[in-house]
């Protein structure tokens, strides 16, 4: 599944319909929500810092969106049943967040109380009008007030584009692949008169409660913080700095630029995988090494320090759940000039292993215990952030091409540069978000060129 900036989300004209989640009792009836739950640490942290420093007091909305195609004439009752099935199946999509003097709380509607409210938007007759419709759709989520999940379709005589958006408060990027898979799979079943056959999906609030239970026993002297403490001592603080010039003062935020570039085509990605396997590492370690080497070639240090998002859903009852199942962990990889391919990718593999073993405490808890003066958002300076994901491991990945699946990100502003590498059937891509300054554009362009050449050399010759 290709990840792209939301500015590239294009839907052909058709008849537009939208759906929002609401409860069966309606606003005049008794409250159908079950109260008393606490959000995850990520949700609490994100909600507290969601005002956009660029546009002022208006809350910012970071969201993920997804689209897929239905060929032939639409069975609208089957699609509505599939959308409702997805919302009822995933607890995170039925949550309501409320801020009070006591902090952020979560209320969740029971599956049987959830309904969908359809709004007929009417015909969309031109590509320009479709573009406006899509932009309005993406702005429909609101971190502070909701809605947090919206769904829609552009219906045509012989095809339909299903589109949906989730506020980052309720989901991570990997969850969007699950949502897309579940809707598409449920539609195929309902349109044939069958019930969907999907694996069980555990509740996200259970995951949050367990996370908080474990964290309650963590103090500043807990051995689980030793990895972080060593990193902070060598790094000079908790947040690793992005090492290249972005033309911006520390802490200042600007509108964000979001782009996606192909780094390696299908054959190049396969060759890189072969090289990495021969060296005893995975492609994720190869990608981490490539970024560190490329930053060093562009003037960065000989030790690549970054924050890495690591999934926490595991392969058990939350493997097919939707929510924010991510922890941020620090990684340190030596990338000295003169080190060969095998040495560097092995160092990246070993650093990743140390990161996972030493990173069981949630990032927000680490922040509060070890650097409470930095707990406010935005982050104090441009942070070096790296991620790698193989979308071929996602549920339904074998059908992504058939569904013409796409995954989009919308981030309005930032104070740094973030690098997401991901692999699809077509190759390895870089999705990046950075501040919109002339220098940042030059820095990103140079880095992408160097990273592309580095990965091509790794894949083609096993060298750096």
Q: What pLDDT is attached to residue 28? A: 38
Q: What pLDDT is attached to residue 249? A: 84
Taking residues 8-21, report their average pLDDT: 91
Using CA atoms, how far apart are residues 306 and 331, in angstroms rounded to an integer?
6
- Taking only the tens place, the pLDDT of each residue in 127-156 is 989 888 888 887 788 898 889 999 999 999
Phi, psi (degrees; rounded to nearest 5) at 273 = -60, -40
The listed range with the strongest mean pLDDT (200-204, 206-210, 301-305) is: 301-305
Mean residue pLDDT of the chain comes to 91
173 by DSSP, 3-state: which? helix
Taking residues 368-394, report their average pLDDT: 91
Q: What percent of the chain has pLDDT above 70?
A: 95
DSSP strand pairing (103-109 vs 33-37):
antiparallel
pLDDT tier at 32, thresholds 50, 70, 90: low
- Taking only the tens place, the pLDDT of each residue in 304-331 is 999 999 999 887 789 999 999 999 999 9
413 compared with 27, residue with greater pLDDT:
413
Question: For residue 56, is it left (φ>0), alpha (ψ between -120 and 50) or beta?
Answer: left
pLDDT tier at 244, thresholds 50, 70, 90: very high
Q: Does residue 334 have a pLDDT over 90?
A: yes
Q: Does residue 35 have a pLDDT over 70?
A: no
Q: Rounded to two decimals, what is the model's pTM?
A: 0.93
Q: Does residue 227 have a pLDDT over 60?
A: yes
DSSP class of residue 242 equals: P
Taking residues 70-94, report their average pLDDT: 97
Q: What pLDDT is attached to residue 57? A: 53
Q: What pLDDT is attached to residue 26? A: 43
Taking residues 220-231, report their average pLDDT: 96
What's the full length of the chain, in residues? 464
Domains and CATH numbers, the chain: 2-207 (3.30.559.10), 220-394+403-461 (3.30.559.30)
């Amino acid at each position: 599944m290709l990840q792209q900036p939301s500015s590239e989300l294009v839907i052909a004209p058709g008849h537009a319909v939208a759906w929002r989640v609401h409860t069966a009792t309606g606003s005049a009836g008794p409250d159908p929500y079950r109260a008393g739950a606490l959000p995850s640490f990520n949700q609490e942290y994100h909600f507290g810092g969601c005002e956009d420093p660029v546009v002022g007091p208006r809350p910012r909305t970071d969201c993920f969106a997804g689209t897929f195609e239905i060929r032939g004439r639409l069975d609208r009752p089957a699609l509505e049943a599939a959308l409702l099935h997805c919302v009822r199946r995933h607890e995170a999509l039925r949550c309501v967040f409320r801020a009070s003097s006591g902090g952020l709380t979560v209320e969740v509607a029971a599956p049987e109380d959830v309904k969908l409210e359809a709004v007929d938007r009417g015909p969309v007759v031109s590509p320009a009008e479709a573009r406006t419709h899509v932009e309005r759709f993406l702005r429909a989520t609101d971190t502070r007030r909701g809605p947090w999940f919206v769904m829609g379709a552009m219906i045509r005589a012989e095809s339909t584009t299903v589109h949906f958006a989730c506020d980052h408060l309720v989901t991570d990027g990997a969850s969007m692949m699950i949502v897309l898979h579940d809707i598409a799979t449920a539609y195929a079943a309902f349109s044939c008169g069958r019930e969907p056959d999907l694996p069980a999906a555990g509740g996200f609030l259970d995951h949050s409660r367990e996370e908080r239970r474990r964290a309650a026993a963590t103090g500043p002297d807990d051995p689980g913080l030793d990895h972080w403490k060593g990193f902070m001592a060598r790094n000079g603080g908790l947040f690793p700095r992005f090492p290249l010039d972005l033309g911006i003062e520390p802490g200042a935020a600007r509108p964000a630029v979001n782009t996606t570039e192909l780094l390696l085509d299908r054959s190049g990605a396969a060759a890189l995988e072969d090289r990495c396997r021969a060296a005893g590492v995975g492609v994720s370690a190869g990608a981490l090494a490539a970024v560190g080497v490329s930053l060093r070639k562009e003037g960065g240090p000989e030790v690549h320090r970054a924050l890495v998002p690591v999934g926490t859903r595991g392969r058990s009852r939350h493997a097919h759940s939707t929510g924010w199942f991510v922890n941020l962990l620090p990684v340190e990889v030596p990338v000295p000039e003169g080190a060969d391919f095998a040495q560097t990718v092995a160092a990246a593999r070993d650093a990743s292993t140390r990161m996972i073993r030493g990173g069981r405490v949630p990032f927000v808890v680490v922040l509060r215990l070890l650097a409470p003066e930095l707990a406010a958002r935005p982050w104090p300076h441009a942070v070096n952030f790296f991620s790698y994901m193989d979308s071929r491991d996602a549920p339904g990945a074998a059908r992504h091409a058939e569904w013409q699946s796409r995954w989009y990100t919308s981030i309005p502003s930032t104070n740094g540069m973030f690098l997401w590498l991901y692999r699809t059937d077509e190759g390895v891509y870089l999705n990046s978000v950075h501040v919109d300054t002339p220098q940042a554009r030059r820095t990103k362009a140079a880095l992408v060129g160097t990273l592309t050449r580095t990965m091509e050399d790794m894949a083609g010759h096993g060298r750096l």
